[in-house]
Chain A
Amino acid sequence: QKEVEQNSGPLSVPEGAIASLNCTYSDRVSQSFFWYRQYSGKSPELIMSIYSNGDKEDGRFTAQLNKASQYVSLLIRDSQPSDSATYLCAPEAYSGGYQKVTFGTGTKLQVIP
Protein backbone atom coordinates (compact mmCIF):
# COMPACT_ATOMS: atom_id res chain seq x y z
CA GLN A 1 0.00 0.00 0.00
CA LYS A 2 1.34 3.41 -0.97
CA GLU A 3 1.92 5.81 1.90
CA VAL A 4 0.18 8.67 0.11
CA GLU A 5 -2.34 8.02 -2.63
CA GLN A 6 -3.60 10.49 -5.18
CA ASN A 7 -5.42 10.02 -8.45
CA SER A 8 -2.82 10.85 -11.08
CA GLY A 9 -5.40 12.36 -13.43
CA PRO A 10 -5.47 14.31 -15.53
CA LEU A 11 -8.47 15.93 -13.91
CA SER A 12 -10.10 18.21 -16.45
CA VAL A 13 -12.48 20.95 -15.35
CA PRO A 14 -13.94 23.89 -17.26
CA GLU A 15 -12.87 27.39 -16.37
CA GLY A 16 -14.92 28.75 -13.49
CA ALA A 17 -15.79 25.33 -12.07
CA ILE A 18 -14.69 23.80 -8.77
CA ALA A 19 -11.76 21.41 -8.93
CA SER A 20 -11.67 18.76 -6.21
CA LEU A 21 -8.38 17.02 -5.48
CA ASN A 22 -8.28 14.10 -3.08
CA CYS A 23 -5.58 12.37 -1.07
CA THR A 24 -5.47 9.46 1.36
CA TYR A 25 -2.54 8.59 3.58
CA SER A 26 -1.58 5.51 5.55
CA ASP A 27 0.41 6.94 8.47
CA ARG A 28 -2.06 7.47 11.31
CA VAL A 29 0.36 9.66 13.28
CA SER A 30 0.53 12.31 10.56
CA GLN A 31 -0.16 15.67 12.15
CA SER A 32 0.52 18.27 9.48
CA PHE A 33 -0.68 18.27 5.92
CA PHE A 34 0.47 20.32 2.97
CA TRP A 35 -0.60 20.92 -0.59
CA TYR A 36 1.99 21.91 -3.15
CA ARG A 37 1.43 23.12 -6.70
CA GLN A 38 4.03 22.24 -9.31
CA TYR A 39 4.02 23.73 -12.75
CA SER A 40 5.77 21.77 -15.47
CA GLY A 41 9.50 22.31 -15.27
CA LYS A 42 9.28 24.20 -11.98
CA SER A 43 9.82 23.32 -8.35
CA PRO A 44 6.92 22.70 -5.94
CA GLU A 45 5.26 25.73 -4.38
CA LEU A 46 3.48 25.51 -1.02
CA ILE A 47 -0.11 26.68 -1.35
CA MET A 48 -1.92 25.32 1.72
CA SER A 49 -1.14 23.93 5.16
CA ILE A 50 -3.72 22.32 7.43
CA TYR A 51 -3.21 20.89 10.90
CA SER A 52 -6.69 20.34 12.39
CA ASN A 53 -9.77 18.45 11.28
CA GLY A 54 -12.20 20.51 9.27
CA ASP A 55 -11.86 23.13 6.59
CA LYS A 56 -9.30 25.86 6.05
CA GLU A 57 -9.92 28.51 3.43
CA ASP A 58 -7.39 30.78 1.73
CA GLY A 59 -8.71 32.77 -1.18
CA ARG A 60 -10.01 30.37 -3.84
CA PHE A 61 -8.44 27.39 -2.07
CA THR A 62 -10.05 25.27 0.65
CA ALA A 63 -8.25 22.39 2.32
CA GLN A 64 -10.31 19.76 4.12
CA LEU A 65 -8.88 17.30 6.64
CA ASN A 66 -10.43 14.21 8.21
CA LYS A 67 -7.83 12.45 10.32
CA ALA A 68 -10.19 9.62 11.31
CA SER A 69 -10.63 8.74 7.63
CA GLN A 70 -6.99 9.57 6.83
CA TYR A 71 -8.22 11.83 4.08
CA VAL A 72 -7.28 15.31 2.96
CA SER A 73 -8.61 17.25 0.00
CA LEU A 74 -8.09 20.52 -1.82
CA LEU A 75 -10.89 22.44 -3.46
CA ILE A 76 -10.15 25.15 -5.98
CA ARG A 77 -13.10 27.46 -6.65
CA ASP A 78 -13.52 29.47 -9.83
CA SER A 79 -10.76 27.45 -11.51
CA GLN A 80 -8.57 29.38 -13.90
CA PRO A 81 -6.33 28.12 -16.72
CA SER A 82 -3.39 29.33 -14.61
CA ASP A 83 -4.35 26.69 -12.03
CA SER A 84 -3.36 23.98 -14.51
CA ALA A 85 -0.52 22.17 -12.75
CA THR A 86 0.24 19.06 -10.75
CA TYR A 87 -0.91 19.19 -7.13
CA LEU A 88 1.08 17.24 -4.56
CA CYS A 89 -0.36 16.09 -1.26
CA ALA A 90 2.23 15.92 1.50
CA PRO A 91 1.48 14.65 5.02
CA GLU A 92 4.13 15.11 7.68
CA ALA A 93 4.83 12.82 10.60
CA TYR A 94 7.58 12.12 13.07
CA SER A 95 9.83 9.34 11.85
CA GLY A 96 13.13 8.29 13.41
CA GLY A 97 13.08 11.24 15.78
CA TYR A 98 12.45 14.00 13.30
CA GLN A 99 9.64 15.32 11.15
CA LYS A 100 9.43 13.84 7.68
CA VAL A 101 7.22 14.88 4.80
CA THR A 102 6.08 12.19 2.36
CA PHE A 103 4.91 13.38 -1.05
CA GLY A 104 2.18 11.79 -3.11
CA THR A 105 2.65 11.27 -6.83
CA GLY A 106 0.38 14.21 -7.55
CA THR A 107 -2.81 14.92 -9.48
CA LYS A 108 -2.49 16.71 -12.77
CA LEU A 109 -5.18 19.37 -13.13
CA GLN A 110 -6.18 20.79 -16.49
CA VAL A 111 -8.50 23.81 -16.53
CA ILE A 112 -10.12 24.14 -19.92
CA PRO A 113 -10.83 27.74 -21.07
Chain B
Amino acid sequence: SAVISQKPSRDICQRGTSLTIQCQVDSQVTMMFWYRQQPGQSLTLIATANQGSEATYESGFVIDKFPISRPNLTFSTLTVSNMSPEDSSIYLCSVEGAGGRHNEQFFGPGTRLTVL
Protein backbone atom coordinates (compact mmCIF):
# COMPACT_ATOMS: atom_id res chain seq x y z
CA SER B 1 0.00 0.00 0.00
CA ALA B 2 0.99 3.63 -0.44
CA VAL B 3 2.34 5.97 2.22
CA ILE B 4 -0.12 8.84 2.53
CA SER B 5 0.47 11.99 4.52
CA GLN B 6 -1.88 14.84 5.37
CA LYS B 7 -1.13 18.32 6.59
CA PRO B 8 -2.11 19.69 9.00
CA SER B 9 -2.92 16.79 11.30
CA ARG B 10 -5.22 19.03 13.32
CA ASP B 11 -6.23 22.65 13.51
CA ILE B 12 -8.50 24.95 15.45
CA CYS B 13 -9.98 27.73 13.33
CA GLN B 14 -12.26 30.69 13.74
CA ARG B 15 -15.60 30.77 11.96
CA GLY B 16 -15.55 32.57 8.65
CA THR B 17 -11.99 31.59 7.83
CA SER B 18 -10.72 28.94 5.40
CA LEU B 19 -8.35 26.02 5.81
CA THR B 20 -6.50 24.12 3.12
CA ILE B 21 -5.65 20.49 3.78
CA GLN B 22 -2.90 18.81 1.80
CA CYS B 23 -2.67 15.14 0.86
CA GLN B 24 0.59 13.68 -0.46
CA VAL B 25 1.16 10.12 -1.69
CA ASP B 26 4.56 8.52 -2.16
CA SER B 27 3.60 6.97 -5.51
CA GLN B 28 1.36 7.78 -8.44
CA VAL B 29 -2.26 6.73 -7.95
CA THR B 30 -5.22 6.69 -10.27
CA MET B 31 -7.86 8.05 -7.92
CA MET B 32 -7.88 10.38 -4.93
CA PHE B 33 -10.88 11.04 -2.75
CA TRP B 34 -11.84 13.35 0.10
CA TYR B 35 -14.09 12.16 2.93
CA ARG B 36 -15.54 13.67 6.05
CA GLN B 37 -16.12 11.75 9.26
CA GLN B 38 -18.12 13.51 11.94
CA PRO B 39 -17.89 12.33 15.55
CA GLY B 40 -19.38 8.88 16.04
CA GLN B 41 -20.38 8.58 12.41
CA SER B 42 -19.17 6.82 9.32
CA LEU B 43 -17.36 8.25 6.35
CA THR B 44 -19.12 10.52 3.88
CA LEU B 45 -17.59 11.08 0.48
CA ILE B 46 -17.17 14.77 -0.32
CA ALA B 47 -15.67 14.50 -3.80
CA THR B 48 -13.38 12.66 -6.15
CA ALA B 49 -10.29 14.68 -7.00
CA ASN B 50 -9.62 14.40 -10.72
CA GLN B 51 -6.14 15.06 -12.06
CA GLY B 52 -6.17 17.97 -14.47
CA SER B 53 -9.90 18.63 -14.27
CA GLU B 54 -12.60 19.76 -11.88
CA ALA B 55 -13.44 17.50 -8.96
CA THR B 56 -16.63 15.43 -8.95
CA TYR B 57 -18.74 16.39 -5.95
CA GLU B 58 -21.28 14.25 -4.14
CA SER B 59 -24.79 15.41 -3.37
CA GLY B 60 -24.75 18.02 -0.64
CA PHE B 61 -21.22 19.24 -1.32
CA VAL B 62 -20.36 22.16 -3.61
CA ILE B 63 -17.20 23.53 -5.10
CA ASP B 64 -17.58 26.98 -3.54
CA LYS B 65 -17.53 25.46 -0.07
CA PHE B 66 -14.99 22.68 -0.70
CA PRO B 67 -12.68 23.66 -3.57
CA ILE B 68 -10.32 20.83 -4.50
CA SER B 69 -7.16 20.76 -6.53
CA ARG B 70 -5.20 17.84 -7.96
CA PRO B 71 -2.28 19.15 -9.97
CA ASN B 72 -0.60 15.75 -10.41
CA LEU B 73 -0.95 12.04 -9.63
CA THR B 74 0.52 12.26 -6.11
CA PHE B 75 -0.95 15.41 -4.56
CA SER B 76 -4.32 16.97 -3.78
CA THR B 77 -5.71 19.73 -1.62
CA LEU B 78 -9.11 20.29 -0.05
CA THR B 79 -10.11 23.74 1.17
CA VAL B 80 -12.88 24.18 3.69
CA SER B 81 -14.15 27.69 3.01
CA ASN B 82 -16.03 30.17 5.18
CA MET B 83 -16.03 27.71 8.05
CA SER B 84 -18.74 27.32 10.65
CA PRO B 85 -18.82 25.09 13.76
CA GLU B 86 -20.78 22.53 11.71
CA ASP B 87 -17.64 21.95 9.65
CA SER B 88 -15.86 20.55 12.70
CA SER B 89 -14.96 17.04 11.64
CA ILE B 90 -12.17 14.74 10.60
CA TYR B 91 -11.25 15.12 6.95
CA LEU B 92 -9.62 12.15 5.27
CA CYS B 93 -8.03 11.71 1.91
CA SER B 94 -7.88 8.30 0.34
CA VAL B 95 -6.19 6.89 -2.74
CA GLU B 96 -6.99 4.06 -5.09
CA GLY B 97 -4.72 2.22 -7.49
CA ALA B 98 -1.55 2.40 -5.41
CA GLY B 99 0.91 -0.35 -6.17
CA GLY B 100 -1.36 -1.79 -8.81
CA ARG B 101 -4.02 -2.62 -6.24
CA HIS B 102 -6.95 -1.62 -8.36
CA ASN B 103 -10.23 -0.92 -6.54
CA GLU B 104 -8.67 -0.83 -3.08
CA GLN B 105 -8.71 2.45 -1.19
CA PHE B 106 -6.15 3.41 1.42
CA PHE B 107 -6.59 6.30 3.79
CA GLY B 108 -4.36 9.02 5.02
CA PRO B 109 -4.10 9.73 8.75
CA GLY B 110 -6.76 12.44 8.65
CA THR B 111 -7.03 16.10 9.63
CA ARG B 112 -8.99 16.89 12.76
CA LEU B 113 -10.66 20.28 12.33
CA THR B 114 -12.34 22.23 15.10
CA VAL B 115 -14.17 25.43 14.22
CA LEU B 116 -14.95 27.84 17.04
Total CB contacts across the A-B interface at under 8 A: 40
A31-48 to B contact mask, C-beta < 8 Å, 1/0: 010100000001111100
CB-CB under 8 A from A44, the residues of chain B are 43, 92, 107
Instruction: Name which of B14-22, B76-84, B98-106 contacts chain A.
Output: B98-106
A98 surroundings in chain B (CB, below 8 A): 48, 56
Report A-chain residues with C-beta under 8 Å of the C-beta of B63.
none
Q: Are A32 and B103 in contact (CB under 8 A)?
A: yes
Q: Are A43 and B107 in contact (CB under 8 A)?
A: yes
Tell yes or no: A105 within 8 A of B by CB. yes
Q: What is the size, in residues, of chain B's interface with A at 8 Å between Cβ atoms?
A: 19
Q: Complex formed: what's the CA distance from A103 to B92 in Å? A: 13
Tell me if B43 and A34 are in contact (CB < 8 A): no
Q: Is the CB of A49 within 8 A of B104?
A: yes
Q: Give 1 or 0 for each of A82-104: 1 = CB within 8 Å of chain B CB.
A: 00000010001000101111111
A-B contact sample (5 more), CB < 8 A, given A42-B109, A46-B104, A102-B45: A43-B92, A43-B110, A88-B42, A99-B96, A104-B42
Chain B interface residues toward A at CB < 8 A: 1, 31, 41-45, 48, 56, 92, 96, 103-110
Q: Please report A residues at the B interface, Cβ cutoff 8 Å.
A: 32, 34, 42-46, 49, 88, 92, 96, 98-106
Q: List 3 A-B pairs, minimum CB-CB distance, nearest first.
A: A43-B107, A103-B43, A105-B42
